[in-house]
Structure formats: structure tokens, C-alpha cells
């Protein structure tokens, strides 16, 4: 089992998916990727999550983020379930789902938390950058469906802060003011961003750059 922490290189793997055999690194290229696990096929919360994610794919495409899911079910099971997802949510699956019936990859990627469930994958979100490093990790229990709007919000923050010396404050969304990182001096901040609003010497707001 690999514990994958922020900043670590995300492991490469080859797996069977609903879109054929995929080598992760080749498939991902230099895009961003949202890699997520879900506990099981033919379960209610997962059905809503995957259908909603399929509906939001254009939003992820716009941000250059590829989507890929995994659960410890077989390819046949995944294929059977996709009809239900379309039925219930109106959205056809439009991203690959990895089949992992022997739990090999799930174990390798730390997706089974034995004290929560010894056999099924938890709901993990890994966001991987163009450099193949892990940028964000979230884990939800089986009983709590994820909020994809929040995941899109975190991607907006990750992509903005990768390119500018800023951080995003609580509940920030695209277009709102951001914070100059502490490592930037007032002089540099003025040079880079023009004026800034210093609520405290360490809390300096600027308009969202870029």
C-alpha cells in the first residue's frame, strides 16, 4: 500500500476500464486529472454521483481536467450499471471507469480504509497536476455523496495558485478577490498586482489576477 501525500508523484498504472485498457500516464498526458473512487456499482449514492459528474464533464474539459473513476467491481458490472446511470440521471457515462475486482489497484492507491470497510473503496478524490504530482486529496465515507461543484472550485483555486503568487480565501469562487501569499513583500505585491488592500500586514487582498 502506498500512502500518497500532497506533492508526491502519483503512481502510474495500467488497468482495464470501460474505455479499454488504459495506461494512466499515457492517457493523462500533460493534462490535469480527477481520479476518484466509489464503493460499489449498483448502489444509490454512487449512481447519483457518477451521473452528475458525467453531466458536468464540459466544465472539467474547459479546465483541462480528465476524469477517471474506480471501484472494486468487474468490467461486466460497470457496463451493466452504466445503463442505470443514464436512466436515472439522463447522463451517459463519458469517462472511463476502472475495473478492479481483485482490489489490487485500490490497495496500491490507498483507497481501502479497513476500519471503514474492509472490502469496498471509500470515496476518495485525487487531483493530479500536469506534472503528475498530487495536488489535492479528499476522502468521504460511503454514506456521503460528494459535491462536484466544490471539486470544480478547488480546481479553479489550484490552477490559479499554480500560476500566480496568491492563495484563495474561505469560500472563494472564480472572480472574487484573492490573497497575496506571505512570501511576497509589500513592494513585490505592489509591483505585481498594483494596489492591494491590507486588512492586516499578513492579510492582503488583490483582484484575481489572470
Which residues have a catalytic role annotated? 46
92 conformational bin, left if phi > 0, alpha if psi -120 to 50, beta if neither: beta
Choose, by CB under 6 A, the member of 15, 22, 34, 46 that binds ligand BEZ.
46
C-beta of residue 172 within 8 angstroms of C-beta of residue 178: yes
| Strand residues in 96-161 grouped as ranges (E) | 97-99, 123-128, 134-140
Enumerate helices (H) and strands (E) in the chain, giving the number of each: 7, 11
Alpha carbon distances (Å) from 137 to 63, 124, 151, 163: 18, 7, 10, 20
Q: How far is the CB of 85 from ligand BEZ (least distance, A)?
A: 12
By CB under 6 A, what part of segment 86-125 binds ligand BEZ? none
Query: Residue holding cell 481536467?
Result: 65
Q: How far is the CB of 107 from ligand BEZ (least distance, A)?
A: 18
Choose, by CB under 6 A, the member of 136, 142, 184, 190 that binds ligand BEZ.
142
Does 189 bind ligand BEZ (CB under 6 A)? Our answer is no
Residue 43 or residue 132: which is nearer to ligand BEZ going by CB? 43
Choose, by CB under 6 A, the member of 7, 44, 58, 114 that binds ligand BEZ.
44
Positions that interact with ligand BEZ (CB under 6 A): 39-40, 43-46, 142-143
Amino acid at each position: 500500500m502506498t500512502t500518497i501525500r500532497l506533492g508526491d508523484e502519483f503512481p502510474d498504472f495500467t488497468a482495464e476500464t470501460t474505455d479499454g485498457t488504459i495506461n494512466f500516464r499515457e492517457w493523462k498526458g500533460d493534462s490535469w486529472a480527477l481520479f476518484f473512487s466509489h464503493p460499489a456499482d449498483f448502489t444509490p449514492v454512487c449512481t447519483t454521483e457518477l451521473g452528475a459528474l458525467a453531466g458536468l464533464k464540459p466544465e472539467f474539459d474547459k479546465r483541462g481536467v480528465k476524469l477517471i473513476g474506480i471501484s472494486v467491481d468487474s468490467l461486466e458490472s460497470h457496463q451493466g450499471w452504466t445503463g442505470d446511470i443514464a436512466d436515472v440521471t439522463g447522463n451517459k457515462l463519458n469517462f472511463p471507469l476502472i475495473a478492479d475486482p481483485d482490489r489490487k489497484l485500490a490497495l496500491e492507491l490507498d483507497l481501502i480504509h479497513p476500519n471503514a470497510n474492509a472490502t469496498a473503496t471509500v470515496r476518495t478524490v485525487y487531483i493530479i497536476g500536469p506534472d503528475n504530482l498530487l495536488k489535492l486529496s479528499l476522502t468521504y465515507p460511503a454514506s456521503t455523496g460528494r459535491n462536484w461543484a466544490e471539486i470544480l472550485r478547488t480546481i479553479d483555486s489550484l490552477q490559479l495558485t499554480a500560476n500566480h503568487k496568491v492563495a484563495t480565501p474561505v469560500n472563494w469562487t472564480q472572480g472574487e478577490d484573492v490573497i497575496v501569499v506571505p512570501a511576497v513583500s509589500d513592494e513585490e505585491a505592489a509591483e505585481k498586482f498594483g494596489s492591494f488592500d491590507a486588512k492586516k500586514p499578513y492579510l492582503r487582498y488583490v483582484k484575481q489576477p489572470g
